[in-house]
């Protein structure tokens, strides 16, 4: 959806919320829609390396096992 469409939709919802004659359930629904129409902040990569080994050794066979892969 284009940003201009989101802005227009948010404006329409805000305008509807100014109507004091709406039932509380409609108001709460419109507030929920307004929240969903707000632009989301950019996502932050929260995958940090916590000093865990990428490869571990199987204690029974000595085989090296890959336990994690880095992906960016």
Query: What is the per-residue pLDDT for 4?
Result: 83
**Domain coordinates in residue numbering, the chain:** 3-37
Proportion of the chain above pLDDT 90, given as a percent: 28
- Tokens, residue 27: 């108001």
DSSP β-ladder status, 55-57 and 64-66: antiparallel
Run of H or E residues at 1: none
Rounded CA separation 72/69 (Å): 10
Phi then psi for 49, rounded to 5 degrees?
-85, 115
pTM of the full predicted structure? 0.51
**Mean residue pLDDT across the chain:** 78
Cα 5 from chain centre: 20
Rg (CA), the chain: 25
- List pLDDT tens digits, range 17-47: 999 999 999 999 999 898 888 866 666 655 5
């Amino acid at each position: 959806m284009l940003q201009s469409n989101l802005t227009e939709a948010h404006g329409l919802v805000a305008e509807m919320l100014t109507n004091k004659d709406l039932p509380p359930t409609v108001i709460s629904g419109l507030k929920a829609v307004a929240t969903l129409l707000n632009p989301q902040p950019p996502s932050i990569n929260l995958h940090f390396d916590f000093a865990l080994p990428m490869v571990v050794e199987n204690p029974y066979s000595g085989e090296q096992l890959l336990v994690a892969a880095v992906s960016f």
